[in-house]
Amino acid sequence: MGLRLLACLFHLPTAVIYGSLSLFVSILHNVFLLYYVDTFVSVYKIDKLSFWIGETVFLIWNSLNDPLFGWLSDRVFLSTQQAGAEISSPEVVLKRLRALSHNGPLFAISFLAFWVSWAHPGLQFLLCLCMYDSFLTMVDLHHNALLADLAVSAKDRTSLNFYCSLFSAIGSLSVFMSYAVWNKEDFFSFRIFCVLLALCSIVGFTLSTQLLRQRFQADGKAKWDEESTLKGLYIEKLSVPQEKRITLAEYLQQLSRHRNFLWFVCMNLVQVFHCHFNSNFFPLFLEHLLSDQISVSTGSFLLGVSYIAPHLNNLYFLSLCRRCGVYTVVQGLFFLKLALSVVMFLAGPDQVYLLCIFIASNRVFTEGTCKLLNLVVTDLVDEDLVLNRRKQAASALLFGMVALVTKPGQTFAPLIGTWLLCAYTGYDIFQRNPLNNVVSAQPKLESAVALEPTLRQGCFYLLVFVPIACALLQLLIWSQFSLHGKRLQLVKAQRQSLTQGQAPEVKAI
């Protein structure tokens, strides 16, 4: 039975194994996003100053580590002629798989550091965030870079992304299970649950990367040896002069002239902010807008659906991308987000069923958009290669530079959200009894019930006005992005022609 299972694993399509890596990230990352703020605020009792210091340092590190790790990984690919032996596509793929095999298990171990109190809350908050994000960044960079390295055509890339979405949806089931064991008063069951998730992730990363490495080493050796021989003769005959590698400053100058890159990162900054705003404040919206209207099981269902549905919905969006293009689908999602938010605002906070649908759909469509944007980055990788005539696409580095500009949205989300809530309602999540404190400050005797409508109204305004503002900004910026339609087809054709003189494209999909 075990041998038969191993045989089945060895015969799985490459796209399936590649997509499975998303499973081993999502089972941990969804739990992290949902509970890390609540754990440090409600369980470890972190003070406001330590929280803000930790988030500020995390903002800086979170932004810098992506381009730093991307530069360390891909700087050898930047020159128009390599200063030394050329690097073939299989070698690039194997290099990324080796990085994933090391950083994947370390990412799982860093996840466990959040759920045991081992230092002062402020210090632990800072160290855990930076350590966790470092390994997550390495995993994300190389996993996303493989999307651009394994395929060039939109069809093949959407196939790879299809399996990523499918496995991410399966990984989101961890949110359903976490809701059953989450208890602020008794953390033991939740800790055991997190250990089991981390073990699954470690085993999965090890097995998947090993299977992919063996496949590329075994299937590609003969083919690439022959191609290297022919290419060596061809290069020797032409005696092409070698050029020195470009510096980081020169690369940044090239990016500053990449117009579509600049428009994209501005739009994506808003998108990252909105995605993490939804993740951070989803429990708060459930508590103050719906807790007295729905059962605990319904709340659990909404929570789980909001994490799973984006990935399942993305399977349909990817089929739309094949027919209409990524640009059109993303633009349509922005219009949909704006329309739903306006309808919810006009309906008001008392329409319980509509509110349930909106809270879930707001997260579903926002997260769904985030999943599609990796396809846009791979197109930017192609355009960067064509514009600067690189010998090899610097995929991980470009993903890192995108993150340099957009990752601050991840930190701005909880900071701006808590500030807006406090400014409008006087509700401070860092106070142990915020409602009582605010009520006692009133000159007249008023109960917490008198303040609750204000808090509820404030949560409702946050819920609808943030997506309205984000959608309007994104539609304005996205209208300036030109890498779609005929221009995108031209870039794809030019990349294919540039790589024809090199080793053939890796296509084991």
- DSSP state for residue 241 in the 8-state scheme: P
Instruction: Indicate the pTM of the whole model.
Output: 0.76
pLDDT (tens digit per residue) in 54-77: 888 988 888 788 888 888 887 766
CA distance 221 to 378: 26
Give the length of the chain: 509
Instruction: Give me the CATH code for the 12-500 domain, please.
Output: 1.20.1250.20
Specify whether the CB–CB gap between 304 and 175 falls below 8 A. yes
Return the H-helix or E-strand segment holding 242.
none
Beta strands in 247-399 (DSSP E): none
Q: Which two tokens stand for residue 425?
A: 């309602």
Specify whether the CB–CB gap between 68 and 60 falls below 8 A. no
CA distance 390 to 75: 11
Give domain limits for the chain. 12-500
Q: Which two tokens stand for residue 326?
A: 């990524």
Output the tens digit of pLDDT for each of the chain's 509 residues: 444 544 455 578 888 999 999 999 999 998 998 888 889 988 888 888 998 898 889 888 887 888 888 888 877 666 544 444 444 567 788 888 999 999 999 999 999 999 999 999 999 999 999 999 999 999 998 998 888 888 777 778 888 888 988 898 888 888 878 878 888 888 899 999 999 999 999 999 999 999 988 887 765 554 545 555 444 444 444 444 455 567 778 888 888 899 999 999 999 999 999 998 988 888 788 877 887 777 767 777 777 777 778 878 888 888 888 888 899 999 999 999 999 999 999 998 888 889 888 988 888 888 888 888 989 998 998 898 888 887 777 788 888 889 888 888 887 888 888 888 888 777 776 665 544 443 333 444 444 454 556 788 888 888 999 999 999 999 999 999 999 989 988 988 887 776 655 544 434 44
- Angle at 308 (CA atoms; ends 306, 312), nearest 5 degrees: 120
Nearest CA to 362 among 264, 267, 471? Answer: 471
The contacts of residue 135 (CB under 8 Å, 6+ apart) are 103, 106, 107, 110
The contacts of residue 169 (CB under 8 Å, 6+ apart) are 308, 310, 311, 312
3-state SS, residue 390: coil
